[in-house]
Amino acid sequence: MATGKRRRTGSGAGKNGSQGVSADQKPTQQVSAANGSTSHTEEHDAEALAIQQALERVRSEYQPLVEALEGKYGFIRALMTEFWAELRKDPRDASQLPVEGDSQWFWFAEMQFLVVFLYEMAFMEFSMSVTKPDSITVTLAPPQTPEKTTLSHRQDMEERVAFLARLKDYVTDLGRCRLAATKQAGKLLPRVFRLAEMYKLSAPETTLLQLLVVLQGCQSNAVRCQMLEEDAQRKMTSCQRLSGLSEVDVVEFRDDEREHVKEGTLIVDEESYCTSLSLSNICVRVLLGRRLTSNQALKVSQTALEELLKGEGLSFAEVLDSSATTAASGGSESRVGGHKRERNADEPADEDEPMDPQHAASGESDLEDRDDGDDVDASAYSFIGEYKKAEHSKRAKRQALADEKLLLGSTDASHDKHHLLSSLTDPSELKPYSQANQLEYLEDRFQVVAFAIRASGARVKDQMKEAGTKQPWESSAPASAGRRELKAKQRVYSRRTQHRLALTRQAGCPLPRLEELAAKFKLNRFEQNVIVMLIGKTISPVIKNLIDGVDTSPVQRMDESVIINQILSVFCDTFQEQVAHRVFFYKSSRLLTRGLIKLHRGRWHSTAGDLVDQRVELDRRVLDWVVGLDTEMNELVEGSDLYSPKVQLDQVVLPEEHKSTILETVESYESFRRYRKKSGLEQAGMAYGAGLVLLLCGASGTGKTMTVNAVAHHLKKRVLLVDFPSLQGKRQEGVETDADLRGLFREADMSNAVLFFDECENIFRQRDGGGDRLLNALLTEIERYEGIVFLATNRPFDLDEAMHRRITAVFEFKAPDHIQRRKIWDVLLLRGALQTEPGVDWDAIALKYELSGGFIKNAILSALLKAIARDTETPVISQADVVAGCALQMRGSLHMKTFDHRVVPTSGLEELIVEDAVKDKLRRVVQFEKARSVIYGQWGFDFGQSNKQQKGVSVLICGPPGVGKLNAAKSIGFEIGRPLKVVSFGQLASDSAAETRKALRAVFDDARLMDAVLVLTGFDSFGSHIDGGATPLDGLEASPRFRMELMRLLGLMDSFPSTTILLADVDKAVASTLTHSDFCRRLKFVVEMRNPNAKLRAQLWRACFPPKAPLDTKKPVDFTRLAERFDLSNTAISDAVFRAAASAALREESTRVITMKDLTEAAEIERQKARGGAAAMDNLFV
Domains, the chain: 294-342+357-627 (no CATH), 633-677+689-813 (3.40.50.300), 821-895 (1.10.8.60), 902-1090 (3.40.50.300), 1095-1179 (1.10.8.60)
3-state secondary structure of 1082: coil
Q: What is the mean predicted confidence (pLDDT) over 695-711? A: 87
Measured between alpha carbons, how far is 87 from 103 in angstroms, rounded to an integer? 16
Least confident of 533-537, 945-949, 973-977: 945-949
Does 218 or 743 have the greater pLDDT score? 218
Q: pLDDT tens for residues 551-576? A: 544 444 455 678 888 899 889 888 88
Measured between alpha carbons, how far is 145 from 354 in angstroms, rounded to an integer? 94
Beta sheet of 809-813, edge-to-edge order: 640-643, 718-722, 753-757, 788-793, 692-698, 809-813
Residue 661 phi, psi (nearest 5):
-65, -45
User: Looking at residue 1036, what is its pLDDT?
Assistant: 54
Task: Report the Cα–Cα distance between both ends of the chain, in Å, rounded.
Answer: 133
Residues 360/361/365/369 CA torsion (nearest 10 deg): -30
Is the predicted pLDDT of residue 788 greater than 70, yes or no?
yes
Q: What is the mean predicted confidence (pLDDT) over 944-958? A: 71
Measured between alpha carbons, how far is 193 from 1103 in angstroms, rounded to an integer? 121
Is the predicted pLDDT of residue 316 greater than 60, yes or no?
no
Measured between alpha carbons, how far is 754 from 762 in angstroms, rounded to an integer? 20
Is the predicted pLDDT of residue 1039 greater than 50, yes or no?
yes
Is the predicted pLDDT of residue 897 greater than 60, yes or no?
no
User: Looking at residue 455, what is its pLDDT?
Assistant: 85
Is the predicted pLDDT of residue 1035 greater than 70, yes or no?
no
Binned at pLDDT 50, 70 and 90, residue 339 comes out as: very low
Binned at pLDDT 50, 70 and 90, residue 374 comes out as: very low
3-state secondary structure of 554: helix
Residue 1154 phi, psi (nearest 5):
-90, 120
Least confident of 34-43, 73-82, 539-548: 34-43
User: Looking at residue 212, what is its pLDDT?
Assistant: 92
Q: How many CA atoms lie within 13 A of 1169 on its CB side?
A: 19
Is the predicted pLDDT of residue 355 greater than 50, yes or no?
no
Candidates 663, 768, 673; CA nearest to 715 is 663
798 and 827 in contact (C-beta within 8 Å)?
no
Q: What is the 3-state secondary structure (H, E, C) of 971-1014?
A: HHHHHHCCCEEEEEHHHHCCCCHHHHHHHHHHHHHHHHHHCCEE
82 and 221 in contact (C-beta within 8 Å)?
yes
Provide the percentage of residues in the chain whose pLDDT is more than 90. Answer: 8
3-state secondary structure of 926: helix
Candidates 784, 773, 780; CA nearest to 686 is 784
1039 and 1024 in contact (C-beta within 8 Å)?
no
Binned at pLDDT 50, 70 and 90, residue 471 comes out as: low
Least confident of 212-226, 339-353, 516-530, 993-1007: 339-353
Q: Angle 993-1010/1040-1055 helices, nearest 10 degrees?
A: 20
Measured between alpha carbons, how far is 897 from 852 in angstroms, rounded to an integer? 14
What H or E segment, with its residue span, contains residue 705? helix 704-714
Residue 268 neighbours by CB distance under 10 Å: 17
Binned at pLDDT 50, 70 and 90, residue 396 comes out as: very low
Is the predicted pLDDT of residue 292 greater than 50, yes or no?
yes
- Amino acid type, 448: V
Q: What is the mean predicted confidence (pLDDT) over 663-692? A: 73
Does 403 or 587 have the greater pLDDT score? 587
User: Looking at residue 461, what is its pLDDT?
Assistant: 77
Q: pLDDT tens for residues 418-442? A: 444 444 445 556 788 887 888 888 9
Binned at pLDDT 50, 70 and 90, residue 910 comes out as: confident
Q: How many CA atoms lie within 13 A of 551 on its CB side?
A: 15
User: Looking at residue 96, what is its pLDDT?
Assistant: 86
Q: What is the DSSP letter of 440?
A: H
User: Looking at residue 208, what is its pLDDT?
Assistant: 92
User: Looking at residue 299, what is its pLDDT?
Assistant: 73
Does 390 or 765 have the greater pLDDT score? 765
Report CA Rg, the chain.
Answer: 52
Q: pLDDT tens for residues 1085-1132? A: 889 888 898 888 888 898 888 888 888 888 888 888 888 888 888 888
Buried b (16+ CB within 10 A) or exposed e, 977-1000: bbbbbbbebeebbeeeeeebbeeb
1002 and 983 in contact (C-beta within 8 Å)?
no
446 and 496 in contact (C-beta within 8 Å)?
no
Classify burial at 273, counting beta carbons within 10 Å of its beta carbon; exposed 0-12, middle 13-18, buried 19 or more: exposed
Does 834 or 27 have the greater pLDDT score? 834
224 and 291 in contact (C-beta within 8 Å)?
no
Q: pLDDT tens for residues 179-209? A: 999 988 888 899 999 999 999 999 999 999 9
Is the predicted pLDDT of residue 511 greater than 60, yes or no?
yes
Bridge partners of 811, per DSSP, are 696
Does 363 or 951 have the greater pLDDT score? 951
Q: What is the mean predicted confidence (pLDDT) over 76-91? A: 88
Q: Mean pLDDT for the chain?
A: 75
Is the predicted pLDDT of residue 530 greater than 90, yes or no?
yes
Whether this prediction's pTM lies above 0.85 is answered by: no
Measured between alpha carbons, how far is 645 from 1131 in angstroms, rounded to an integer? 54
Is the predicted pLDDT of residue 549 greater than 50, yes or no?
yes
Binned at pLDDT 50, 70 and 90, residue 533 comes out as: very high
Binned at pLDDT 50, 70 and 90, residue 987 comes out as: confident
User: Looking at residue 150, what is its pLDDT?
Assistant: 53
Q: What is the 3-state secondary structure (H, E, C) of 211-270?
A: HHHHHHCCCCHHHHHHCCCCCHHHHHHHHHHHHCCCHHHHHHHCCCCCHHHHCCCEEEEC
Which residues are CB-neighbours of 729 under 8 A, at least 6 positions away? none
Candidates 190, 196, 195, 208; CA nearest to 277 is 208
What H or E segment, with its residue span, contains residue 789? strand 788-793
Which residues are CB-neighbours of 270 under 8 A, at least 6 positions away? 476
Residue 157 phi, psi (nearest 5):
-65, -40
Measured between alpha carbons, how far is 853 from 825 in angstroms, rounded to an integer? 8
